[in-house]
Amino acid sequence: MRLNRFLAMAGVAARRKADALIAAGRVTVNGGPTPPGGQLVRPGVDVVAVDGAEVGPAPAALNYVAVNKPAGYLSAVSDRSRRPLVTSLVRDREGANRLRPVGRLDLNSRGLILLTDDGELSFRLQHPRHHVAKEYRVVVRGRPTPETLEKLRRGVVLDEGITSPSEVSVLGRGPDADTTRLRVVLRQGWKRQLRRSLRALGHPVIDLCRTRIGPLRLGQLAEGAARELKPTEVEALRHEVSL
């Protein structure tokens, strides 16, 4: 594990501040100075100290799971109506009882959702100030005109106000007559925002699939399946929100 990540997980400082501590010569490993550039350490084996005070080993590893949520599953950990939960798709995994969905993907939508017990990452990914991009493949009723698509790009008036600008492109005709496939990227997370926006423009959504959250992509993950994130994917997500 890189030293800056060890310090971050041990609660000493975020990775960028940890880099500054290392560069200032305030961190030692096994009593010796640490070279700049990210020395590797072995949690529980190497002795890490900051300003002479030993830093305990990093806490138990956090869990990060990508799920391809089918339609009909609720993005929650409980439901009074006993509807299927996205967390039920990972119930057999170690630490599954600690996993929580990051944000929402409405009941009738499908696609990528992240489950984790990393509370800080979850909070930042959902916070409006980070403007984390979310990409969708959408099938709508009708054939949106260029003028309609431009309205969606600029912003649509909803109850909360005007939506933030979005990226929109036409992928082609949908699976049925008089339907259209769109690619849409949002950086805002109002409730059912994309469905409501398209309905307001006269093109109700027939199918909605999320394919990307920031740098994390759905890829070829089968519907209803789940997979652990690679360390590089976790690092990319944390970098996306300045962790």
pLDDT one-digit tens code per residue, 117-143: 888 899 999 998 999 999 999 999 999
Q: What is the pLDDT of residues 188-237, one digit of tens each?
A: 989 999 999 999 999 999 999 999 999 999 999 999 999 999 999 999 99
Both tokens assigned to 181: 């496939």
CB contact at 8 A, 155 and 164: yes
**More reliable by pLDDT, 242 or 61:** 242
Q: What pLDDT score was predicted for residue 160?
A: 94
User: For the domain bounded by 133-213, which CATH number is listed?
Assistant: 3.30.70.1560
Percentage with pLDDT > 90 across the chain: 65
Using a 10 angstrom Cβ sphere, with 0-12 exposed, 13-18 middle and 19 or more buried, the burial of residue 112 is buried
Q: Which of 106, 118, 159, 178 is catalytic?
A: 106
pLDDT digits (tens, 9 = 90+) for 3-24: 887 887 777 877 778 888 888 9
Class of domain 64-128+216-240: alpha beta
* Same fold: 64-128+216-240 with 133-213: yes
Does 58 score more than 80 pLDDT? no
Fold of 3-55: 3.10.290
Say if pTM beats, i.e. exceeds, 0.85.
no
- The mean of the pLDDT values for the chain is 91
Our answer to whether residue 106 is catalytic in this structure is yes
Q: What is the largest CA-CA distance in the chain?
A: 71
For the chain, domain boundaries: 3-55, 64-128+216-240, 133-213
Tell me the residue type at 181.
Answer: R
